[in-house]
Amino acid sequence: MTAPYRRPGDVPDFLELLRLDGRPMVVLGGGAGIGRQTVHALVQAGADVVCIDRESHLAKAVAQEAGCHALTADATSRDDLSQALDEAARLTGPLTGLVDIIGAAAIGPLSAVDDAGWQRQVDINLRHAFLATQLAAPSIAAAGGGSIAFVGSISGLRAVPDESLYGMLKAALHHLIATMGSELALARVRVNGVAPGWTKTPRLAGMLGPDKWRTIGAQIPRGSAAEPWEIAAPLLFLMSQMSSYVTGHVLVADGGLINSVPHPDVFARAAEPPAPPIGAPA
């Protein structure tokens, strides 16, 4: 969907460009963490949102607290996802946007991955993105255009220990974003992504204790891992007309980690409490 035509030199209402009033949008994997925060972000901007998760109780809980719709589907299944997107359109009208949060890393060396593990990782990190793009893009184009956004990872941009398979699949996702951004541009469908670094999602928060998070924060120039809302915020930007001239791009949101080289002195910071991020909600 394009911004209203303005004469050269006119100044737009920039905050209005961030609004999504009445625009039907879907969040895949919206039941927790970054997905939950993204549902709230889109709803607050005025979108008519459908939260889709394979865990029905999570989707319903987020929909209830955000004031939107909930559906249950396995996004790695073509039939499941197709039915869910059709039902979402019946609930809200023709879709103008889709955010896909889904992904999970299997940690360990590539030599330890068997065929079943390979397929699980392909499904959870790449197949759903292929299906979401293929199934949703024609509908979004028919509605006049809109935006698709994925969550990638800095593991798809750098070699991360014990994340060879995950990083390879995220790199493939990033390339999917680049190619589909070009392929769908004339159909007025923008395709972008956000590549987070360390983020305190519920899954990682359950795996790592305070000492681990302090060590992680000591290696990040910002001084701490991201909170899920700090990844949802750039996703909101990519779904809005604030990013109307951005497509095929992966925005890195990692607190500066990817541009830094660890130094022994930074580990001394692990004993210090991290400073709160600028602009963090009270």
Q: Measuring CA to CA, which residue among 83, 68, 77, 63 is closest to residue 20?
A: 68
Nearest to 41 by CA among 243, 240, 196: 240
Number of helical (H) and strand (E) elements in the chain, helices listed first = 10, 7
Catalytic option among 150, 166, 229, 237: 166
Under 8 Å CB-to-CB from 134, ≥6 apart: which residues? none
* pLDDT of the residue at 261: 74
Give the residue among 74, 192, 59 at the shortest CA–CA distance from 131: 74
Burial of 155 (0-12, 13-18, 19+ CB in 10 A): buried
How distant, in Å, are the alpha carbons of 8, 43, 80, 137 from that of 146?
Answer: 23, 16, 23, 9
Q: Give me the residues of the chain with pLDDT under 70, please.
A: 1-6, 262-282
Q: What is the pLDDT of residue 271?
A: 54
Q: Is 245 labeled as catalytic in the residue annotation? A: no
User: What is the pLDDT, as a whole number, of residue 224?
Assistant: 94
Write down the pLDDT at residue 7: 79
Q: Which domains does the chain have, with CATH numbers?
A: 20-271 (3.40.50.720)
- What is the spatial distance between Cα 228 and Cα 36, in angstroms, rounded to a whole number? 9
pTM of the model: 0.90
For position 269, what pLDDT does the model report?
55
